[in-house]
Structure 1
């Protein structure tokens, strides 16, 4: 009886697995077809499928081929993914110059993450002025992380003249968005009147936000001290 149950369970498992495998193959075929007919988003999704081994064996070479197609079709996410491949040397030789080239394309095609990645690349090279411009463009496209970087560059005088007053709107925007561990910075600016008029209520607001929403321990301490 037990053997029969196990046999039936095994047959059921294989049936479900085969069904899921067929479904994945069908979706992948549809994406490949759409990609071949000029849909850049589909090309990127095929690349992602092989990058993250979603129902297929991981293959960086195939992923690169489809990311390249996507980027040629001006799909920003495809360009970013291709830049990452060159940065990490996955499926292609490691090449930071090419990596930046594709980040720039992504940025030019309207991809905020491409502008942000380009900024990171320039910052790692200590080309702070170029990094600042890239982060500022990312911020203008809605990147909270880009806004955070612009604000911090103003605070630190990196690639731009140091100016706490100019840092404020960028850090506020970043804090109200998804950027992590930035709210304490703007709280400090208001608490210690760094380029702005002291405002302890605003400082308290940003410390609280950093503590409760971003789980920043330093922001929590600052919030408790200002109460």
Structure 2
């Protein structure tokens, strides 16, 4: 492929047109799930045509069995982009994506059941939400592990408080540099909640949380400077 001069408007237009053609061919002629997914991304990110993006993502999900595509369709239903806004339809696609092994989709299904609820009465189902979050967490998706930890810290309708599980999940998240999980774990060690009381460990986790917070602020400042 020839190099594209991204300062040249005509070259960029031609490049993008060729890109769209390539992804259309991959989706409709080669019938690849990744091709339809890329075509959806093309319409969403490049063309801002969310209706066509929804069509491509739905095809990758429904006919090609691509979990990432299901997750993208679900997100469009959440925000009402290119499709009519519907949490119930969003859940349907999150659930399908989860069944196809996509951790993001499992996470989305869990959050919908925990925070928003389904149906005309926005009925929540925390035990079922926990099931989806556990599937996502087991695949290494840290935000799901953190949400699970938070649920076990407080307890919820149908889910008992379990500080031991909360501490185990917080430790997993903290090991993956999740700032809030490190802060929670620090308090647990300081108080002996779910773990044996250990002020030295509590201090260590608090320092890690503070270091992660410092890094986050520095990254934010650099981003603003770069803008």
Structure 2 unaligned blocks of 5 or more: 118-123, 217-227
Q: Which residue number corresponds to residue 77 of structure 2?
A: 86
Cα pair 1:210 1:216 within 8 Å, conserved: no
Partners of 1:79 and 1:118 in 2: CA distance:
11
How big is each residue's C-alpha offset from its partner over 1:92-127, in whole Å with a ceiling of 9 and x where there is no partner? 111111100000111111111101111110012231
Distance 1:172 1:14, change over 3 A: closer
Is 2:60 aligned against 1:70?
A: yes
Is 2:111 aligned against 1:113?
A: no
Distance 1:156 1:14, change over 3 A: closer
Question: How big is the shift at 1:216?
Answer: 9.5
Q: Which residue number corresponds to residue 174 of structure 2?
A: 175
Distance 1:107 1:17, change over 3 A: same
Q: Which residue number corresponds to residue 144 of structure 2?
A: 146
How big is each residue's C-alpha offset from its partner over 1:116-145, in whole Å with a ceiling of 9 and x where there is no partner? 111110012231111111111110011101
Q: 1:41 aligns with which of 1, 21, 34?
A: 34
Q: Which residue number corresponds to residue 184 of structure 1?
A: 183
Distance 1:62 1:164, change over 3 A: same
Q: Which residue number corresponds to residue 114 of structure 2?
A: 123
Question: How big is the shift at 1:171?
Answer: 0.8
Structure 1 unaligned blocks of 5 or more: 1-12, 218-227
Instruction: Report which of the two structures shows the higher radius of gyration computed on alpha carbons.
Output: 1
Aligned length: 202
Q: Which residue number corresponds to residue 224 of structure 1?
A: none
How big is each residue's C-alpha offset from its partner over 1:64-118, in whole Å with a ceiling of 9 and x where there is no partner? 1101111121211111110011111111111111100000111111111101111
Cα pair 2:177 2:212 within 8 Å, conserved: no
TM-score norm. by structure 2 comes to 0.83
- Within a 5 Å distance, the mapping from 1:25-40 to structure 2 comes to 25-36=17-28, 37-40=30-33
Cα pair 1:145 1:178 within 8 Å, conserved: no
Cα pair 1:116 1:134 within 8 Å, conserved: yes
TM-score norm. by structure 1 comes to 0.83
